[in-house]
């Protein structure tokens, strides 16, 4: 598998990564065994970048149960800001407070069965929220605590 450096991180990752939102939905992958087969096959083929989020329902749990025993073989990204996922209204819960971000990451780490993620991404955080400073303070704390190696942004702008 061809690799490259991810942005300015110095992290080597496979050119092809896997977005894991689909494995979080019961109708997509109905058993942990199916997910385990898919994710382990991806690792066996040299895919080393896995991207998930707390709001992808069962995705983080599936990753933790399936491949946490091979954690040294891949780079793991998750997201914060939408802690509870999609609500019945069709809207996402949003929490950009320091406490909310730290709690989201701690829950993610527990589900992923790891003590750190390689990349914690803000999930569609607005410029207005960023300018308030709390989000940056939270990201700084996660990095200082050794829970994240790098911080970034995932979204529509």
User: Mind telling me the catalytic residues?
Assistant: 56
* C-alpha to C-alpha distance for 106 and 19, rounded to whole angstroms: 21
Contact 96, 125 (CB under 8 A): yes
H helices present in the chain, as ranges = 32-44, 59-67, 98-112, 127-132, 134-144
> Can you name the residues that pair with 123 across neighbouring β-strands?
154
CA atoms within 13 A on the CB side of 33: 0
């Amino acid at each position: 598998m061809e690799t490259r450096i991810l942005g300015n991180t110095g992290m080597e990752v496979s050119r092809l990564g896997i977005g894991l939102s689909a494995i979080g939905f019961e109708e997509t992958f109905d058993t942990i065994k199916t997910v385990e087969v898919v994710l382990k096959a991806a690792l066996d083929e040299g895919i080393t970048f896995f991207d998930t989020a707390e709001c992808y329902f069962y995705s983080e749990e599936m990753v933790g149960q399936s491949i946490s025993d091979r954690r040294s073989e891949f780079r793991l990204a998750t997201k914060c800001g939408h802690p509870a996922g999609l609500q019945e209204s069709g809207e996402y819960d949003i929490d950009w407070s320091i406490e909310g971000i730290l709690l989201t990451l701690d829950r993610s780490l527990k589900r992923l069965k790891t003590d750190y993620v390689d990349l914690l991404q803000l999930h569609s955080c607005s410029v207005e929220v960023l300018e308030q400073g709390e989000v940056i303070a939270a990201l700084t704390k996660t990095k200082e605590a050794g829970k994240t190696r790098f911080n970034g942004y995932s979204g529509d702008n």
